[in-house]
Amino acid sequence: MKRRLVLLGAPGSGKGTQAEMITRQFGIPVTSPGAILRREKDLGTPLGIETAEITQRGDLVPDKIIVELIEDWLRLHGSHGFVFDGFPRTLPQAESLLSILTRLRTALDLAIWLEVSEQTVHERIGGRLQCRSCGFTTSVTSAKFAERPICPYCDGPLVRRNDDDESVLRTRLQEFHTKTEPLAEFYGKMSILHRIDGNRDREEVFKDISRLIEAK
């Protein structure tokens, strides 16, 4: 079974949803730079406050900060594999991850690219909710609420993300096209890139991802 994965795609492509499904089905630890930084923000650290201001503008957090956070996480939690949700996002980040894994004497198994239309992105972002406590992501349409939006895993509050504002989304999409899309060629040359149609129902997408993980 393949246990070292990165999930790539535009904002709203379903990376967080699929990462959550992967860790529940296969027990592979999952994280994202966003999840790590939100914890820093909730703790009120200087790093958390600084990066929150950056993400609220729709800009990307500097690579140096992201790479250091990821390397620390890998040394603590990566011995049983990993799923990175939305990391790497730039070519320098991808090259840094390759260097980190080389130092740790391991290698990336899969780079899964969730392809979605911009219409899908806008529809999903417009109705996205995220747990303030654990980072679980769902939508207004798929979640079933009795009275108020509560996370089904930790009972934390489900809220709209600050960076899901329409003007911020336009900036994030521009950043994705210019800085993240070149990773397709990078991982294609390594023969580990797999493209999946992310416009479909989450269960259908997960079936395709599961086949890749379980393939010999």
Residues with a known catalytic role: 15, 89, 128, 161, 172
Instruction: State the Cα–Cα distance between residues 150 and 112, nearest whole angstrom.
Output: 30
Q: Tokens 């109705």 identify what position?
A: 127
**Helices of type H across 78-177:** 91-103, 118-126, 166-175
Calculate the dihedral angle through the C-alpha atoms of 115, 5, 171, 14, rounding to the nearest 10 degrees. Answer: 50
Instruction: State the Cα–Cα distance between residues 93 and 79, nearest whole angstrom.
Output: 20
